Amino acid sequence: MEASKGSARQERPVLRHSSLTGGSFIQDHQQYKPATPISQNISDVRRTTGDSPSPRMFNINPISPDPSKVTESGIVHSIFPKSPNPLPAGTPKLVATIFYKSAQPVHPNLHPDSSAASRSGDRLPSPSVPVGSAPTVDIEKLPREPPAPEPEPLDHLYGPFVSQLCLTSFLQILEGLHTPYQRINSSHRCLDQEEQPRVVEVTVSPLPNPEYLSFEDLRKHENIWRFEREWNVEVVLQKESVFRRYKRLAVFDMDSTLIQNEVIDEIAKFVGVEKEVAAITARAMNGELDFSASLKARVSLLKGVPADVFEKLKSIITISPGARELCRGLKALGCKLAVLSGGFQPLAEWLAGELGLDYAFANHLEIDPETQTLTGNLVPSYPIIDAAQKRSLLRTLAAENSIPIKQTLAVGDGANDLLMLHEAGLGVAWRGKTKVQLEAPTRLNGENLTDILYLLGLSEEEIKELVATEK
């Protein structure tokens, strides 16, 4: 706050461009700056000629201000070299990874202000229930009033990326959650690119007082949900620690996660019961049916299917975008990898070979040795891979490899994945069913599974380097 002698009062600052690589982008958004402190002392004032007073006497303050009492005005989030809000060493930190949803606009049509194809009289779509915000997206089935109108799609106004104003809004929301009020310190970095970033990592301290707002409630806070809707982003909140950045065990669901297919639905096509099986599968994955009972019901419909059906299915299985790169990158970091699937063992083992996984656990279908067809039953000597068994396998694999549970990662999309998602150090619902998005610790709905690596604090350049080392 020091200034040269006699300098004039600064004018109101103008919003200007600044890099998002760090430093104080919020300083660019301050509305006012304090006057330049006056450094003359009383000797300067009295140093005049003759009896006539100096013209300077009417334009200066004869009292030198105390520099320690000259502070910045406006909103300050303490991203400055010398923080005005020092915190004790070891203060817990919160890491928020913000993903811009470039492939999933809030509204299906572009905002009239930014689209030549839209006319000024065009109206935005009627309010709807966003996927993941309620147990059903059918407004008629909701036991409450219809949802309020959608928030203004601000990304259409300020840019289809994580903008400076987007970050400023997010930090203001976090600061407002402290009870009693406490000013926060924050820093940020772009993980993919400096200009118009899609992924930005924000570190904030301290966390809100857990007596007023627990970390679990913070993750699902209404204000953060509204911020995601307004700016068309997804926010993943984690507590900063060495275990956040260094995972040693990663477990994955198979169907609709590592692969885009639901295997049991594909098998059902062979006997013409696809619709019946698919309906049961959808209800089971959304938590509307008990998984074990629904699995047995679906398997019973597969009676008579040739046992070589799994060999035929390999040619139509579609591995999810980014699955190979994600597994390759995690292996390069030294992680043990496993697939824990409510599907079937032959394809789980095949997928493990394709992706370089260390373990494969799935359900075993009983085969008639005479006819070499499926009997419609599960092999009774093997446990059903349901929600409880997936969590148990996660614990067992971690213990066998002497890995703390905090250093584990779990990824899945169905209701039978929820227990392992909550058990793991980081549980991610990847393009999850509606119930799973509501209940999972974190969720992502991107297009490429490598987005999960950003949650470990890796940059795009580091991800490319990791993926390249294992080729």
Q: Supply the residues annotated as catalytic.
A: 253, 255
Q: Pairing state of beta strands 336-344 and 185-190?
A: unpaired
Nearest to 223, CA basis, from 184, 157, 175: 175
Q: Please say whether the dihedral angle defined by the alpha carbons of residues 373, 376, 382 and 386, taken in this order, is positive or negative.
A: positive
Cα–Cα distances (Å) from 57 to 43, 47, 54, 340, in that order, read: 12, 10, 5, 81
d(CA 172, CA 75): 9
How remote is the C-alpha of 439 from its chain's centroid?
Answer: 14
Residues with Cβ within 8 Å of 87's Cβ and at least 6 positions away in sequence, in order, are: 185, 205, 206
Nearest to 96, CA basis, from 175, 210, 25, 16: 175
**Where do the H-state alpha helices sit in 214-316?**
215-219, 222-231, 242-245, 263-268, 274-285, 291-300, 309-313
Q: What is the separation, in whole angstroms, between the first and last Cα of the chain?
A: 54
Tokens of 267: 């098998």
Tell me which DSSP letter residue 259 carries. B
Tokens of 453: 């690596």
Largest CA distance in the chain: 123
d(CA 178, CA 112): 37
d(CA 360, CA 259): 14
Cα–Cα distances (Å) from 104 to 147, 203, 256, 257, 392, in that order, read: 20, 26, 18, 19, 35
